[in-house]
A and B are shown apart, each in its own frame.
Chain A
């Protein structure tokens, strides 16, 4: 199983096994990673599943769709490496992916 590392805002680092086919948001909720609200459940309407992707991983992800790009503006503190975790599907090639959870989602 791919392993994903979430760095919570309090500094806690969570390395978790992630089943392929789920999204980075779904794994976070299942594993109790703190700080990802995911209010809309992955429907691209809330932008409360915001994460910052480690720079050397950012370009390896499938790029954000236009809808996701528009929605990133709806996040609290968008940065160049921002993504919505509900839009990142876990595939074996993402083994080792590192994301940071922002201080706040709204």
Chain B
């Protein structure tokens, strides 16, 4: 997730950065990143363990550090006192509001207080109850595509599927599907006025729904947030907004994007696809392995004090980009990291991050991804992708395929 863009005139190399670490990596316009983000990140790994780009990943700050070893990235994730999340995604501020994104932009000690309330709402037991609804939605969205013989997988399935689950969780009418997809796109991919308008639109819509639940509570997650207690009190309006907006932004694009790369892979690797058709018991392993191969998140932190990582001097205020793919594909940790092996044992990837902010929604995400793979390898015909179309990725905080054309006979 990123907000706004930084004026190019700010580009400079701060004096504490040694010149041999500088790469002119432009998060917004890097051609390699657009062609294949995972391969491009591996290229950065080969460029050195600690890189500095004068380009900014987010709204503010003098350039960005990129550490490329899993050990360094893990160390940064594990030290939220030094590498803070507060203020990294100032969406509320962009529209003149005071709510932060909760819990993703909250630092210790408050962060744990919020997670304590949220964790049970996304526990495996709770998410297991959703499984039938998730499978049903996958079938409802994919089913009508069969007769067409082709689809644009992102718009036709990968976007509406997780949004429909979100609507189900939040008790929102399915007719709002297109509104929510529109907000999501404009906030995460847009800039300037369009982005600001979408944040406002999303905030207003969610606030309206919160008000409705105040008058008439129901069984959904929004109602649950209204009755939840944090240190013996209810959440205030700003907290409710920050929570609702975060759950929306964190839980949709990530799933859409991961689905995109998973299905691009399966459309190209016919043998892997038929393996799943013949052996559906491998789907759990396939979800994990494809999550590992295609990490979509490149999150960020800001240094709260001067420190040293890997012998490199970091100054207070410096920004750090954290592409989790560089953990999940680090040859120092994973054997043959660029090969998909659905039977990998103890597959310890970092698609969901690491440290205190490690994904709240992983149990939901895994069930959504599993249901999508199951649906497409059991009820849908074998699919391929037209060879002449090159995939294009967009996004900085979350990489995603701009489109994915699939065809079947």
A contact residues vs B (CB 8 Å cutoff): 29, 32, 34-35, 37-41, 43-47, 66-67, 70-71, 73-76, 106
Contacts and interface: CB of A to CB of B under 8 A. Distances in A.
Contacts of A35: 346
Contact of B120 (A46, A67, A70): A70
Interface string B344-360: 01101010111111101
Contact of A45 (B125, B350, B355): B355
B116 A106 contact: no
Contacts of B358: 39-40, 43, 45-46
Contact of B123 (A32, A38, A74): A74
Contacts of B348: 29, 37-39
A37 B357 CA distance: 16
B119 A74 contact: yes
B403 interface: no
Contacts of A38: 348
A43 B360 CA distance: 13
Interface in B70-129: 74, 77-78, 112, 115-116, 119-120, 122-125
Nearest to A36: B346
Given A40-B358, A70-B120, 4 more contacts: A34-B345, A34-B346, A67-B112, A73-B120
B354 A41 contact: yes
Q: Which of A32, A45, A46, A106 has the most CB of B within 10 A?
A: A45
Contacts of B345: 34
Nearest to B360: A45
B115 A41 contact: no
B116 A46 contact: no
B210 to A, nearest CB: 24
B322 to A, nearest CB: 14
A102 to B, nearest CB: 11
Contacts of A47: 119
A103 to B, nearest CB: 12
9 contacts: A35-B346, A40-B358, A41-B355, A45-B356, A45-B360, A46-B352, A73-B123, A74-B120, A106-B363
B407 interface: no
Nearest to A40: B358
Given A35-B346, A106-B362, A40 B124 contact: no
B116 A70 contact: yes
Given A41-B354, A45-B356, A106 B366 contact: yes
Nearest to A48: B362
Nearest to B116: A70
A47 B348 CA distance: 14
